[in-house]
Amino acid sequence: TYSYTVTNAGPASVKPKVTDNKCSPVTYVSGDTDNDGRVDPGEVWTFKCKYKVTQNPNTTLTNKATVKDAQRPSSGWFLGGDRNSSNNSDTWTLQVVP
C-alpha cells in the first residue's frame, strides 16, 4: 500500500487530483478538516493506493505520484489555485525483496 501526503502552501485552497503512474485508483483517506473538498493552506491530506508488485525480487520499482489542481485552467490568467505546478510530483524507487 502506497501512502501519499498532500499539503498546500497557499494562498488559495485547491481541489486536488492525485495520480500515480503505477497505481490506481489513488483514494482519499483524511485531512479535509472543514469538509469543503479543497486542500486549504495548512491542511495535510492523506491518500492511499494498493499496488500488487509484479517485478522480480532484487530489482527496483520506481513510480511517480502527482497532485494537480483539478480546477486550474489549462492556460491564461486566473485567480487563486496552484501557482507553482513545478513542485507537484514526487518520484521514488524501492528495492523489491522476496
Starting at the earlier edge strand, list the strands of the sheet with 16-20: 16-20, 60-69, 89-95
| Overall size of the chain counted in residues | 98
pLDDT digits (tens, 9 = 90+) for 12-47: 888 999 999 999 999 999 999 999 999 999 999 999
What's the pLDDT score for residue 76?
A: 60
- The answer to whether 62 and 45 have CB atoms below 8 angstroms apart is no
Say if residues 52 and 2 touch (Cβ distance below 8 Å): no
